[in-house]
Amino acid sequence: MLRPPPRLALTLARLCLFGDEVLIRSNVTARNNMTPLDQHKLEVIRSCVKVVYGLEDGPELDLVWARCKTAIQQKCKHLRYFHRLDAKKPMALRSTRGGGRPFDRDDDG
């Protein structure tokens, strides 16, 4: 079963094209003195969504792409919020949310 288009767009943005650290410092619209996300990379995400879901250029793709951009924008805001919370905590209590690396674990447990 396919993921919803906004979920696919988020996965591509976080894991393939930008990463959490870039998303924390940026946003889609370049508002509020934030750095805009690279438009070429956003266009790659749009093309992937278009191909995977078999969408043609037109109102349907525009609507789906607007939802994808909103999802990416909200993820940027979400990551910044948790990044600020983690920055206020002592180092030993910081979580892996907000772009941190997961805890190192042995395969045994």
CB-based burial label for 42 (10 Å; 0-12, 13-18, 19+): buried
12: its two tokens:
């591509």
Within 1-109, where are the H helices?
A: 5-11, 20-25, 39-52, 59-88
CA atoms of 2 and 78, how far apart (whole Å): 24
DSSP 8-state class, residue 37: P
H or E stretch including 26? strand 26-27
DSSP 8-state class, residue 12: I
Structure confidence by residue, pLDDT tens digits, 55-64: 999 999 999 9
With 90 as the cut, is the pLDDT of residue 105 above it?
no
Please report, rounded to a whole number, the percentage of residues in the chain having pLDDT higher than 70. 80
Strand-pair partners of 27: 36
DSSP 8-state class, residue 93: G
Q: What is the pTM of this model?
A: 0.75
H or E stretch including 36? strand 35-36
Q: How confident is the model at residue 7 (pLDDT cuts 50, 70, 90)?
A: very high
Per-residue pLDDT at 93: 52
Per-residue pLDDT at 33: 85
DSSP 8-state class, residue 32: T
Per-residue pLDDT at 36: 94
Structure confidence by residue, pLDDT tens digits, 74-90: 999 999 998 887 777 66
